[in-house]
Amino acid sequence: MNATALKTEPTPPALQIVDVRHRYGRVQAVDGVSVSVAAGEVVCLLGPSGCGKTTVLRLAAGLEELQDGAISLSGTLVAGNGVEVPPERRGVGLVFQDYALFPHLDVIENVAFGLSGMNATHRRSRAEEVLAMVGMDEYARSYPHELSGGQQQRVALARALAPRPRVVLLDEPYSGLDARLRDRVRDEVLHILKASGSACLMVTHDSEEAMFMADRIAVMRGGRIVQQGTPVELYCEPVDAFVASFFGEVNRIEGQVRAGSVDTPLGSIPARGLAEGAKATVVVRPEGVAIHPWAPVYSDDPSGVVEQARLLGRTSLVHMTVTAPAQSEASVHLHARVPGVYLPKPGARVRIQVDPTQTFVFAN
Ligand code: ATP
């Protein structure tokens, strides 16, 4: 092999899952999932409860025997085609929902537990190193029951990272934490993962969490991946209404394609690539509805009548009824999410404008 050929040799992904299927009795929990994670990358499996996310993670870990497909770690087959490497020989770090620290071992013993093949001094110094990395070195001699949920979470992560795994698998790792602690811990975890260079496959049903953590997201439904891409791709170019609505509440307006557009009380929305006459759903994100409170409302302008307005913190949510200027019988209930404190009185008529980049049309 010459030098040029060596240079172009692709590095195999740290974790590669190819066309994996899994049944529990009559339930087809996973139905042809393919996803790969490169070294240093965080990929999130995102989807509603029961869509098969945890099963994919358990298959990758070797906690479920693979029924169909293939799983490789850094180019080496670990499951499929008659191969089934046991979990402890896959070199994968696991953090599952319940942390599962050993209650009879203190923190440093918990972290050192998985460090086989090292002498006692090295095990101890590596355990101290990772505990410092997660900010838990002061608690080395504490027992799990003496720690808060967030602290246990960090110890579990330290234990998973201590053997320098090529791959870390995280299953809803922040589900036991309250909102404020979750924000802090996930920020720490992201920095730790990026500093460690491990590949990470994480499961969550929370889109905001997925966007916070992931370089790429795979959205799952009914055992399949419906869309895979960067957070920006998924948010800005969702393939269907399910994916669009998974990234936050949306307004939906049903309609029909006529002359390349769907007529709605918000105006005519272009329906690129959809067949003439097709039934379609227009999806508008509440943050894509701008309100111009001081603009005069002329009869042809899209406008809404405020029903109620609520402050949600950084944004305000305005509920309104929008009626098409030309066809007074058609009206829709619309939510607009506007920055800051904006609480118009019920009954006020306001001019609205829809952001085309936050508006999507899908065939039904
Ligand atoms: P959640 O977010 O609620 O944890 P999930 O997306 O991780 O859900 P899985 O736990 O992978 O989903 O489950 C996928 C499907 O397989 C579900 O219908 C579930 O009921 C079923 N299932 C999971 N584990 C088993 C099992 N051990 N025996 C039988 N059915 C199972």
Sequence spans of domains, the chain: 15-241, 250-363
Helix (H, G, I), strand (E, B) or coil at 208: helix
Average pLDDT estimate for 52-56: 96
Please give the structure tokens belonging to residue 112: 């050192």
Helix (H, G, I), strand (E, B) or coil at 25: coil
List pLDDT tens digits, range 187-231. Answer: 888 888 888 889 999 999 999 999 999 999 999 999 999 999 999
pLDDT reading at 3 higher than 60: no
Amino acid 97: pLDDT? 67
CA atoms 323, 324, 330, 333: torsion sign:
negative
pLDDT band at 334, cuts 50/70/90? very high
List pLDDT tens digits, range 236-248. Answer: 999 999 999 999 8
Q: Point out the ligand 1 atom lying closest to the alpha carbon of residue 30.
A: 14
Q: What is the CA radius of gyration of the chain?
A: 25
Question: Atom 19 of ligand 1 has which residue's CA nearest to it?
Answer: 50
Dihedral through CA 299, CA 304, CA 306, CA 309, nearest 10? -140
* CB-count exposure of residue 325 (10 Å: 0-12, 13-18, 19+): middle
**Cα 257 to ligand 1 centroid, rounded to whole Å:** 39
- Least confident segment among 90-99, 243-252, 277-286, 339-348: 90-99
pTM of the model: 0.87
**Residue 361: which H helix or E strand, with range?**
strand 359-363
- Annotation: CATH topology of 250-363: OB fold (Dihydrolipoamide Acetyltransferase, E2P) (2.40.50)
Interatomic CA distance for residues 49 and 43, integer angstroms? 18
**Reading across the β-sheet that carries 261-264, which strands appear in turn?**
267-270, 261-264, 251-258, 279-284, 359-363
Q: Point out the ligand 1 atom lying closest to the alpha carbon of residue 51.
A: 6
- Least confident segment among 89-103, 203-217, 254-268: 89-103
First vs last Cα of the chain: how many Å apart? 53
**Cα 53 to ligand 1 centroid, rounded to whole Å:** 8
Q: Measured at the alpha carbon of residue 175, what is the angle toward residues 173 and 176, in degrees to the nearest 5?
A: 105
Amino acid 230: pLDDT? 97
Q: Which residues' Cβ are closer than 6 Å to ligand 1?
A: 24, 27, 29, 47, 49-55, 205
pLDDT reading at 1 higher than 60: no
DSSP-assigned states of every residue in 120-185: HHHHHHHHHHHHHHTT-GGGTT--GGGS-HHHHHHHHHHHHHTT--SEEEEESTTTTS-HHHHHHH
Interatomic CA distance for residues 265 and 168, integer angstroms? 49
Return the CATH superfamily for domain 15-241.
Answer: P-loop containing nucleotide triphosphate hydrolases (3.40.50.300)
Query: 109 vs 179, which has greater pLDDT?
Result: 109
Question: Atom 1 of ligand 1 has which residue's CA nearest to it?
Answer: 49
Q: Best-predicted range by mean pLDDT among 138-147, 159-168, 292-301?
A: 138-147
Question: Atom 18 of ligand 1 has which residue's CA nearest to it?
Answer: 50
**Cα 23 to ligand 1 centroid, rounded to whole Å:** 10
**Cα 86 to ligand 1 centroid, rounded to whole Å:** 21
Question: Atom 5 of ligand 1 has which residue's CA nearest to it?
Answer: 50
**Cα 29 to ligand 1 centroid, rounded to whole Å:** 6
Average pLDDT estimate for 296-312: 85
Residue 294 CB: number of other CB atoms within 10 A? 6
**Cα 282 to ligand 1 centroid, rounded to whole Å:** 32
pLDDT reading at 292 higher than 90: no
Amino acid 293: pLDDT? 75
Amino acid 203: pLDDT? 96
Question: Atom 25 of ligand 1 has which residue's CA nearest to it?
Answer: 24
List pLDDT tens digits, range 111-147. Answer: 998 787 788 888 999 999 989 887 889 999 999 999 9
Q: Point out the ligand 1 atom lying closest to the alpha carbon of residue 220.
A: 6
Helix (H, G, I), strand (E, B) or coil at 333: strand
Amino acid 5: pLDDT? 52
Please give the structure tokens belonging to residue 300: 């042809």
List pLDDT tens digits, range 7-49. Answer: 667 889 999 999 999 999 999 999 999 999 999 999 999 999 9
Averaged pLDDT score across all residues of the chain = 90
Amino acid 53: pLDDT? 96
pLDDT band at 161, cuts 50/70/90? confident
**Cα 177 to ligand 1 centroid, rounded to whole Å:** 22
- Least confident segment among 160-164, 196-200, 251-255, 325-329: 325-329
362, amino acid identity: F
Q: Which of 54, 63, 98 to mutate to test the pocket of ligand 1 (most atoms within 8 A of CB)?
A: 54
Dihedral through CA 50, CA 52, CA 54, CA 59, nearest 10? 150
Sequence-distant (6+) residues with CB within 8 A of 304 are 291, 320, 321, 322, 334, 336, 349, 350, 352
Contact 92, 86 (CB under 8 A): no
Interatomic CA distance for residues 107 and 102, integer angstroms? 9
H helices, E strands: number in the chain: 9, 21
Average pLDDT estimate for 290-307: 81
